[in-house]
């Protein structure tokens, strides 16, 4: 059984830039919004730290944040949730693969994009592995 | 002085412990409590604990806060603060390629150390090395 981290929060509506700022950070960490109610991450020391400090930041802004460690009892299955995390990284991975296949790719910039997606690839996506090999295979072949 | 932080140190707290002993309080005694444990001991200054004076501020790491609070104006330390910022928590823009590597090494260092004080002792070498190398680059 997997362990998950759940974060729910409230931020004063104004200034709206703060809401956007927190939302961007959540996306960058790769958290998933579950049923429009709370943000989910698989639990490990790293994700715990990320959510802990994000909560502290929300509270510092005058908001409220609550962080739980949880395991699923009923409803969604671990596997379903896991699949959602994989889909979230697969899509941008596939976009890069497509660009590589079109042959007009800037390898350096695509590699950086790959690294960014990799940092939120919590379940070792197969597409990510394929992209990694494709990127490594392009070395020395750039025209 | 006595300082207190949560156990299971990683990149930011290793950096802070190094900074405290090297630039702020050479006699610092650092003690550890379980994450979330309350109340905090009264005779120790807490750091890198959410809500404490020396903690994350406006998205910056505790190392960054200590530099501000102790008025340490050293460009090399500023640079380390930037690296630790990016290593410790997600930032909207990242400019330090060393950050993810430093994060990984510090987590690994804690993993192979029998306890937190040992991890901090070993972490000193990493931050001394980082400081020396950044200094050399700047010459």
A46 at interface of B, judged by CB pairs closer than 8 A: yes
Mutation choice for B interface testing from A60, A65, A112 by most B CBs within 10 A: A60
Give how far B84 is from chain A: nearest CA, Å.
13
The answer to whether the Cβ–Cβ distance between A52 and B107 falls below 8 Å is no
B57 at interface of A, judged by CB pairs closer than 8 A: yes
Burial class for B18, CB neighbours closer than 10 Å (0-12, 13-18, 19+): buried
Give how far A86 is from chain B: nearest CA, Å.
20
Residues of A with Cβ-Cβ distance to B58 under 8 angstroms: 57, 60
For residue B90, name the pLDDT band (cuts at 50, 70, 90).
confident
Burial class for A18, CB neighbours closer than 10 Å (0-12, 13-18, 19+): middle
Burial class for B22, CB neighbours closer than 10 Å (0-12, 13-18, 19+): middle
B92 at interface of A, judged by CB pairs closer than 8 A: yes
**Chain B residue nearest residue A24, CA to CA:** B92
Residues B81 and B63: beta-carbon distance below 8 Å: yes
The answer to whether the Cβ–Cβ distance between B89 and A60 falls below 8 Å is no
What are the pLDDT digits (tens) for B10-60?
Answer: 999 999 999 999 999 999 999 999 998 999 999 999 999 998 999 999 989
Complex ipTM value:
0.87
Look over chain B and give the mean of its residue pLDDT values, rounded to a whole number: 95
In angstroms, the CA A50 to CA A47 distance is 5
What are the pLDDT digits (tens) for B60-86?
Answer: 999 999 999 999 999 999 999 999 999
pLDDT confidence of residue A142? 54
**Chain B residue nearest residue A28, CA to CA:** B90
């Amino acid at each position: 059984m997997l362990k998950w981290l759940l974060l729910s929060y409230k931020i004063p509506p104004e200034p709206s830039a703060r809401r956007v700022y927190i939302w961007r950070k959540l996306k960058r960490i790769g958290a998933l919004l579950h049923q429009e109610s709370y943000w989910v991450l698989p639990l490990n020391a790293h994700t715990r730290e990320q959510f802990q400090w994000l909560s502290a930041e929300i509270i510092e802004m005058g908001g409220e944040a609550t962080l739980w460690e949880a395991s699923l009892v009923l409803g969604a299955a671990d596997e379903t949730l896991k699949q959602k995390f994989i889909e979230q990284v697969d899509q941008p991975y596939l976009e890069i693969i497509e660009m590589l296949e079109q042959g007009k790719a800037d390898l350096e910039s695509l590699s950086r994009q790959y690294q960014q997606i990799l940092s939120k690839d919590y379940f070792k996506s197969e597409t990510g592995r394929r992209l990694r090999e494709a990127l490594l295979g392009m070395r020395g072949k750039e025209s | 002085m006595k300082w207190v932080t949560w156990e299971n140190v990683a990149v930011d707290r290793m950096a802070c412990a190094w900074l405290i002993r090297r630039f702020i309080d050479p006699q610092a005694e650092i003690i550890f409590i379980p994450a979330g444990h309350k109340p905090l001991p009264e005779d120790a200054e807490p750091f890198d604990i959410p809500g404490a004076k020396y903690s994350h501020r406006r998205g910056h790491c505790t190392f960054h806060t200590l530099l501000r609070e102790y008025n340490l104006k050293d460009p090399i330390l500023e640079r380390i603060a930037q690296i630790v910022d990016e290593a410790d928590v997600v930032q909207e823009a990242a400019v330090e390629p060393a950050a993810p590597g430093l994060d990984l090494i510090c987590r690994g260092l804690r993993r192979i150390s029998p306890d937190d004080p040992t991890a901090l002792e070993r972490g000193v070498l990493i931050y001394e090395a980082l400081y020396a190398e950044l200094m050399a680059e700047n010459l």
